[in-house]
Structure 1
Amino acid sequence: MNSGLYVGTVRHRRFTPVEHSFSYPMFMPLIDLDELEELQRTVKGFGKSVSNFARFRPLDFMNDPSAQEQVRVIDPQSLKQAVLAKVENLTGERVQGRVMMLCQLRYAGVYFSPLNMYYLHDEQGNWRWVLAEVSNTPWNERHYYAVPAGSRYHNPKAFHVSPFNPMSQEYHWRLKAPEKHLVVHLDIRSSDGEQKIMDATMVMKRRPFTTKVLWQLITATPVQAIKIVIGIYWQALRLWLKGAPFYNHSPSKQIPSNQEWNSK
């Protein structure tokens, strides 16, 4: 089985204009969308039904409430097709293999995920792209970045996430394929790429996607979405008390496609 549960730590470090850092434990399922039906049969308490404590609700993903035109995701296969179509729109490449999604589930009916990662593979099983689905709060907006597999990549920031970061910044990505370990690292730099403002790192270790392991993790953090949202606002308060500059919400901006940006 390709699917698994990943357990580890998320760390944020801010270097300027004020110093600030924190880390916290986190677990996230990695789901092969072609294996969802099998997972529902074998893992108790997990699935699409509203009766499951750890609910996989397709409508929670790839549906931007603020978008004028949005893909209607109603089941795992339409979700997979929405991911493939989004990456084709951003990169010009149509990938036809499996899609693995690293995500948050809806626990006890509550859902929020600041970042979902979709790992796209070609028909030969080679990892080709990551689609990063970024959400903000309280605006409940979403934005999508396509990142090439196995390489360092940078792109302009196009989406307001933190009121303590301006829009004139760049994202510098470093990714590791989700195998025994999973690594997502993001440097946030000045718009010229010279000054490192902050970074965020997620390092996780794979565990089997079984009923026993899932419920061990749920018992430790019953409603992870609430923990995430409380953590976001608590860290924002700490930054404000430290005197970090505050930037008002800005609308998303158009950035060059991956092909145009890479040619610069």
Structure 2
Amino acid sequence: MRTGTGQDTAPGLRAPALYRCTVAHARTAPLRHTVRHRTYLWYVDPDRPPRLPRPLRPLARFDARDHFGGTAPTIRAGLERFLAARGIDLHGGPVTMLAHARVLGHVFNPLTLYWCHDRAGTLRCVVAEVHNTYGERHCYLLPSDLGEGQLAHVEKELYVSPFFPVDGRYRMRLPEPGERLGLTVQLERDGGRPFTATVRGERTAATTGALLRTAVRHPLSTLAVSAAIRAHGAWLFLRGLPVLPRPRHQPQEGVE
């Protein structure tokens, strides 16, 4: 497998990396409940995805059909279509992506992140691609100062949890990963923050041995993520939290 030392940093990322991480969802209203699970994420250049030995390829595939509209020939092409619809041209500048890979034919990415740089290496923007468990997706365009770990706010536009309506806004802190990964997304509603999601992890080089060890620790990782979200929802429903109707999601220019 094409690997790296773990020392590459954007915008010059060429070798893929793995982040073994803990994802936490904390709900404070109307019920208090926190759930955590361990998983791993890939940090890659979508123009140069990992090349695994043939026997290992089912453990990590990056398919264009899993991102944006699913109709572009490559992930990068889908991203550029989305950016072009919003007047942004990277002029071939580098992009780094944090995501789950398709594992044994299954993938579920609650959040995929793209740090988009221009040809000079300057961060132009961050794209946060959100998927829900109903097969819908929505992309949020965030300002470039997130690369310094600052906050951005975007209006919520996708039904994600069946216990929250499509209102409020997200408060996001999404610094580009280094040796450590630290992401925070909070939902703000009615002057409060009833939901917070965090991702914390440490970077390791994506060697063949590291992938095998990680896959053994987290078999069927993307299926486990999807199952954990549904189990969390079942727990809340059984405690009397009402399910809100899901509105029709409006297609997004450059995504659908």
Give TM class, smaller chain: 0.7 to 0.9
* Counterpart residue identity of residue 219, structure 1: V
For 1:40, the equivalent position in structure 2 comes to: 51
Secondary structure class of the residue paired with 1:240: helix
CA contact 2:25–2:195 (8 Å) conserved in 1 = yes
| Distance across 2 between alignment mates of 1:55 and 1:186 | 26
For 1:130, the equivalent position in structure 2 comes to: 126
For 2:185, the equivalent position in structure 1 comes to: 186
Task: Report 1:9-28 matches (<5 A).
Answer: 9-28=22-41
Q: What TM-score do the two structures reach when normalised by structure 1?
A: 0.82
* Counterpart residue identity of residue 99, structure 1: V
Q: Does 1:103 align with 2:114?
A: no
CA contact 1:119–1:130 (8 Å) conserved in 2 = yes
Task: Report 1:182-261 matches (<5 A).
Answer: 182-190=181-189, 194-252=191-249
Q: What TM-score do the two structures reach when normalised by structure 2?
A: 0.84
CA contact 1:8–1:25 (8 Å) conserved in 2 = yes
Unaligned runs of 5+ in 1: 65-71, 256-264
Counterparts in 2 of 1:161 and 1:83: CA distance versus 1, 3 Å: same
Secondary structure class of the residue paired with 1:86: helix
| Distance across 1 between alignment mates of 2:109 and 2:171 | 21
Q: Does 1:142 align with 2:137?
A: yes
For 2:59, the equivalent position in structure 1 comes to: 53
Counterparts in 2 of 1:63 and 1:85: CA distance versus 1, 3 Å: closer
| Distance across 1 between alignment mates of 2:94 and 2:209 | 26
Identity of paired residues, percent? 28
CA contact 1:183–1:204 (8 Å) conserved in 2 = yes
| Distance across 1 between alignment mates of 2:118 and 2:60 | 30
Shift of 1:166: 0.9
| Distance across 1 between alignment mates of 2:153 and 2:55 | 39
* Counterpart residue identity of residue 140, structure 1: G
Secondary structure class of the residue paired with 1:123: coil
| Distance across 2 between alignment mates of 1:142 and 1:196 | 23
* Larger RCO: 1 or 2 (CA < 8 Å, sep 6+): 2
Size of the aligned set, in residue pairs, is 234
| Distance across 1 between alignment mates of 2:55 and 2:46 | 18
Shift of 1:152: 1.1
78, 91, 112: which is aligned to 1:116?
Answer: 112
| Distance across 2 between alignment mates of 1:110 and 1:125 | 33
| Distance across 1 between alignment mates of 2:37 and 2:59 | 23
CA contact 2:67–2:78 (8 Å) conserved in 1 = no
Root-mean-square deviation (CA), in Å?
2.0
Shift of 1:214: 0.8
* Counterpart residue identity of residue 155, structure 1: V
| Distance across 2 between alignment mates of 1:248 and 1:180 | 41
For 1:63, the equivalent position in structure 2 comes to: 69
Deviation string 1:242-264 (CA, Å, 9 cap, x unpaired) is 22232111123599xxxxxxxxx
Shift of 1:224: 0.9
Counterparts in 2 of 1:59 and 1:254: CA distance versus 1, 3 Å: closer
Range with bigger deviation, 245-254 or 4-13: 245-254
